Structure formats: C-alpha cells, structure tokens
Amino acid sequence: MQVHAITKNVRMSAQKMREVVRQIQGLPALQAQAVLAVVPRKGARFVAKTLRSAMANAEDLKEHKQEYRDLNIEALRVKEALAQTASTLRRFTPKARGSAGPILKRNCHVKIVLSDE
C-alpha cells in the first residue's frame, strides 16, 4: 500500500530542497523523521512537515478505509521523495543607466510517498 502527501508552493528553490530530500529516500519513516530533526537547513522543516502529513494520512486511511486495514504504520518506508519546481515570481531591481535586472524568487513542491512494501 502506498500513501502520499504533497506540500505545494514552498518558498525555496527546488535545487536547495533536493539536497535535503535525498537524505531520506529509502529510509524507514520514523528514522527519516529523526534524521530531519537534526538537519540544520530550512528545507528540512518543510520536508519534515510533509513527512508527518504523509504518516497522518496513513493512520487516517487505516482507520477509515477497509482496503488499508492491514497497513502497518511502523513498517512504512520513504519510497519516493521529490522536490519539483513550481511557479517563479519575477521581480526587478533598478540597474545602471535606467535598465532593470531580474530577480527570480523560486518556489517548489515537495512530494513524499510512503510504502509498507
């Protein structure tokens, strides 16, 4: 069985978020939570929030859906963890001689898939 959670439009570039997401791929969910608790990066908070949401989704499905009754919460592993690019805010700053320089404020989506297989 697979359970997933997505956090959309996180105000951080996907490139920076991928460095955090790579650290938890393939780990058991409880161990991934412990790893994210000690990672000193801003992106670790968003990934931890998404992981907690995926685990809560698993518990909720186990309680309310008949086909998820045999789902073992302790055996959940991070099957897939992705940081995908989202829309970019474009801003401009004044430059010399009346021109403007672009500022790109990047966003990303964090997706975590948990599986008990």
Q: Residue 23 maps to which CATH number?
A: 3.90.470.10
Q: Which long-range contacts does 13-16 make (Cβ < 8 Å, 24+ apart)?
A: 13/106, 13/108, 14/83, 14/84, 14/85, 14/86, 14/106, 14/108, 16/41, 16/43
For the chain, what is the domain count?
A: 1
C-alpha dihedral over 57, 63, 67, 73, to 10 degrees?
60
Domain holding 102, by residue range, is 2-115
The residue assigned the tokens 């805010």 is: 89
> pLDDT category, 117, cuts 50, 70, 90?
confident
Averaged pLDDT of the chain: 95
Tokens of 84: 């995908």
> pLDDT category, 24, cuts 50, 70, 90?
very high
